[in-house]
Amino acid sequence: MRNRHRLLHICFVFYQLIIFSSPAKSDDSIIERFRAYLQIDTSQPNPDYTNASKFILAQAEALSLESQTLEFAKNKPLILLKWPGSNPQLPSILLNSHTDVVPSEPSKWSHHPFGAHLDSQGNIFARGSQDMKCVGMQYLEAIRRLKASGFQPVRSVYLSFVPDEEIGGHDGAEKFADSHVFNSLNVGIVLDEGLASTTEDYRAFYAERCPWWLVIKARGAPGHGAKLYDNSAMENLFKSIESVRRFRASQFDLVKAGLKAEGEVVSVNMAFLKAGTPSPNGFVMNLQPSEAEAGFDIRVPPTTDAESLERRIVEEWAPASRNMTFELGQFKQRASLHDKFGRPILTATDSSNPWWNLLEEAVRKANGKLGKPEIFPASTDARYFRERGLPAIGFSPMANTPILLHDHNEFLNQAEYLKGIDIYESIIKAYASYVQHSKDEASRDEL
């Protein structure tokens, strides 16, 4: 009887081991960790960086990763994790993600934006599910798998969880990239965020459009609301707006015709229009104002002829002949199209860049496929690393997924999230195993 009882106990323990080590159970834990991260409200303008940091540091401790918390600005922690490589002399790998997310309007969501609701189809609804808490957690889960398999990286792998990307990254990635801490990491390649793909092919980005935020002002003599005369401030401003509109249409036509991707054209969108003489009841209706201004969000690919665009702005959009000026005589924000060495801010996507080749092969080995490399249509933290002359690739492994970043009802399907972990496991393994010292690395070391 005693032997029979012992046999039953052994069978029961064996059964438990099978259940708790089964893929389904493991996947459940992975999804629960992802949902827990999504449930931390890190939306601007008051992100809960404290609890986000605690969560990330707890994950790092569970994975036996080295960690440090940096503050380049007060109350804006940047978490830096390290998986040491066996050859620390080789340039390292940096896996970057941001912890903050954009605001949301809960009344316009089908589920609470920080509830991380999992529906019957496996869709996880949450702000940050695509942009980009998914990627930060996929890095960690991929490392969890690699460690469990006994893999030891040759190159050191760093993970940075940075604040404030959604408001420009000036207190996060920008200060990090310019710091002595970053210089000491000896980074050779940076991975950052990309976009979801509505097709089976993953999207990868080798550059991004640079923001040129411009405010132009028109001046003219004030006049009676009934008077017709030339060169009023409003008339001059609307001439400029019409000129901008025609240029915008010409660029958009290239996209509509399939001749260029969105990231390859200059986009111009009016952000605000300011004019009129205020009154207690609104605006004075019988007075034409002496000043009017408009703000434009211009996004410029690094392949653009910057001098030609500047001439267009000076001669067509805000000519002095129409009493047009730039606010303070300059752009409100103008990102450079060149890195600190005078080169276009582009990451090579050919045989000259071994990191690109490794990425393509790693994705293929994980049963994925990359589409044609693209220029990111907006801005990410990757630009701060490219400005230093480093290769940086934007990549978020989300295929067959609607693009919902910054939109209502942002979601990511759990199956797609899990597949993304497979992809990153393959990429990190390939990058961390790469031992050949490339010409690019040698040139960077000399600089």
3-class state of residue 169 by DSSP: coil
98 is in an annotated binding site: yes
Residue 100 known to be catalytic: yes
Q: How far apart are CA 241 and CA 333, in angstroms?
A: 19
159: helix, coil or strand? strand
Distance, in Å, from the CA atom of 136 to the CA atom of 115, rounded to the nearest integer, reads: 19
Pick the catalytic residue from 141, 164, 165, 339.
165
AA identity, residue 435: V
> Is 166 a known ligand-binding residue?
yes
CA distance 227 to 19: 83
A 10 A CB-CB count for 300 gives 20
Q: Under 8 Å CB-to-CB from 18, ≥6 apart: which residues?
A: none
Per-residue buried b or exposed e for 219-249, using 16+ beta carbons within 10 Å of the residue's own CB: bbeebeeeeeeeebbbbbbbbbbebbeebbe
Whole-angstrom distance, CA of residue 391 vs CA of residue 207: 10
Compute the distance between CA of residue 130 and CA of residue 124 in angstroms, rounded to an integer.
Answer: 10
Amino acid in position 404: L
Q: E-assigned strands of 177-334?
A: 187-192, 204-208, 210-219, 223-224, 267-275, 278-279, 282-283, 287-288, 291-300, 324-326, 333-334
Cβ–Cβ under 8 Å, residues 354 and 155: no
For the chain, the helix, strand and coil percentages under 3-state DSSP, each to the nearest 5: 40, 20, 40
Residue 154 makes CB contacts below 8 A (sequence gap 6+) with 85, 86, 87, 90, 432, 433, 434, 435
Contact 272, 297 (CB under 8 A): no
Rounded Cα distance between 231 and 187, Å, is: 55
Q: Is 9 marked as a binding-site residue?
A: no
Compute the CA torsion angle 364, 353, 393, 376 (nearest 10 deg): -100
Nearest CA to 344 out of 292, 284, 387, 405 is that of 387
- Is residue 165 part of the annotated active site? The answer reads yes
Answer yes or no: are the C-beta atoms of 203 and 372 closer than 8 Å. no
The answer to whether 193 is annotated as binding is yes
Tokens of 175: 């200060």
Token couple for 206: 């080798």
Q: Choosing from 28, 61, 71, 100, which is the catalytic residue?
A: 100
Tell me how far apart the alpha carbons of residues 101 and 128 are, in angstroms, rounded to a whole number. Answer: 6
Binding residues for Zn(2+): 98, 131, 166, 193, 406
Name the residues annotated as catalytic. 100, 165
